């Protein structure tokens, strides 16, 4: 007979993985991997398990109660590629297991951030600008790629080469109210609110001409008085014109185009200023009528006389007039026949 002695050897702990490979997507939710940890000779627990990552693409959290442990694996933000996780168990002796991980790349959307999401204006106010911060970890982007939705109350312009970009907002003339603009890049957008407070604009008045010349007894002329008020109801009849000593003046038309017809009065010449006004609004129209030497006028009381041979003389009246030059009967010239004239002017 013989005696056999078997010397005890402390076996190391063992990690047993159900899966040896894991596929994930960039920025995907955490994934749990179940594994077993055991030691035939010594006590071992899930808390004895640690991890290391070759390329630091993931974070691992160990939980569970031996022998059933859980590794919760979370991709780090925006990380992708291949990595290897080494699970280590240490209870005095060590054991390990490896898990291969492949994280596929996902094209992340661009990000956009406005320095302000609300702008306040008054009607016809000056421009305002805000900064627009943009970024894209997967693709190069520029300010030129920013899109701004069309506004009914404003115009917009984006300037700059790289982030932060500058968005300039200009209220359109005589517009007021509120609206929202969408500022976007690569499918990502932010909303910009706009409030434009109404302002009561003053009426405006201007003349198509401010200096007009006529010839005495000349033809009529027409000028346009442009009279407008974007906020209040007005009419051409609201305009007042000073009296003219040289012209006959009439006013007609519908705002904003009011027509002023000017006709020289008979035998009037000289210069004057006609004032067109409405409230505080006032425009001056300078008038010059150049004199013209009118011909003298002669009028016979009869244009035909009948006589018999050796008849007595007959008399007719001759009326003469000249608005520009003094005339007398002595200025009358007779031609043909035997006649004479007498009298004074």
Long-range contacts of 250-254 (CB under 8 A, 24+ apart): 253/224
Cα 87 to Cα 21, 65, 113, 122, 132, distances in angstroms = 13, 16, 41, 66, 45
- As given in the structure block, the two tokens for residue 55 are 């390329």
Q: Whose CA is closest to 130, among 103, 92, 157?
A: 157
Q: How much is the pLDDT for 337? A: 59
Task: Give CA–CA dist 92/148, Å, rounded.
Answer: 65
Q: How much is the pLDDT for 340? A: 57
Cα 261 to Cα 144, 197, 228, 252, 265, distances in angstroms = 55, 40, 19, 8, 13
* pTM tops 0.85: no
Q: How much is the pLDDT for 316? A: 83
Q: How much is the pLDDT for 110? A: 92
Placement of tokens 């920025």 in the chain = 27
Other CB atoms within 10 Å distance of the CB of residue 54? 13
Other CB atoms within 10 Å distance of the CB of residue 240? 12
Burial class of residue 219, CB neighbours in 10 A (0-12, 13-18, 19+): exposed
* pLDDT tens, the chain, 345 aa long: 777 776 666 789 999 998 899 999 999 999 999 999 999 888 899 999 999 999 999 999 999 998 999 999 999 998 999 999 999 999 888 999 999 999 999 888 899 999 999 999 999 999 999 999 999 988 899 999 999 998 899 999 999 999 999 999 999 998 999 999 999 998 899 999 999 999 988 899 999 999 999 999 999 999 999 999 988 899 999 999 999 999 999 999 999 999 999 999 999 999 999 999 999 999 999 999 998 877 778 888 888 888 888 888 888 888 887 776 787 787 777 776 565 555 654
Placement of tokens 């002329």 in the chain = 221
């Amino acid at each position: 007979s013989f005696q056999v002695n078997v010397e005890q050897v402390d076996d190391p702990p063992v990690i047993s993985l159900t899966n040896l490979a894991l596929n994930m997507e960039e920025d995907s939710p955490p994934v749990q991997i179940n594994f077993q940890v055991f030691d035939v000779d010594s006590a071992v627990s899930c808390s004895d398990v640690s991890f290391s990552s070759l390329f630091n693409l993931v974070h691992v959290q160990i939980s569970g109660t031996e022998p059933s442990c859980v590794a919760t694996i979370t991709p780090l933000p925006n990380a992708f590629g291949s990595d290897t996780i080494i699970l280590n168990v240490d209870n005095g002796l060590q054991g390990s297991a490896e898990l291969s991980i492949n994280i596929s790349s996902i094209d992340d959307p661009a990000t956009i951030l406005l320095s302000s999401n609300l702008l306040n204006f008054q009607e016809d106010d000056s421009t305002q600008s805000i900064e627009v911060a943009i970024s894209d970890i997967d693709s190069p982007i520029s300010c030129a790629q920013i899109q701004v939705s069309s506004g009914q109350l404003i115009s917009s312009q984006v300037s700059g080469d790289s982030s932060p970009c500058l968005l300039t907002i200009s209220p359109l003339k005589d517009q007021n109210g509120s609206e929202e603009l969408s500022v976007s890049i690569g499918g990502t957008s932010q909303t910009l609110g706009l409030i434009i407070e109404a302002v009561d604009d003053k009426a405006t008045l201007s003349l198509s001409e401010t200096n007009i010349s006529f010839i005495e007894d000349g033809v009529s002329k027409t000028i346009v008085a442009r009279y407008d008020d974007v906020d209040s109801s007005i009419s051409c009849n609201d305009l007042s014109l000073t009296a003219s000593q040289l012209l006959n003046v009439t006013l007609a038309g519908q705002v904003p185009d009011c027509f002023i017809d000017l006709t020289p009065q008979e035998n009037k010449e000289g210069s004057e200023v006609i004032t067109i006004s409405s409230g505080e609004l006032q425009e001056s129209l300078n008038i010059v009528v150049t004199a013209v030497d009118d011909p003298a006028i002669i009028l016979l009381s009869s244009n035909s006389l009948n006589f018999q041979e050796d008849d007595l003389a007959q008399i007719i009246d001759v009326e003469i007039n000249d608005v520009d030059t003094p005339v007398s009967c002595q200025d009358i010239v007779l031609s043909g026949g035997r006649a004479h004239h007498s009298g004074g002017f």
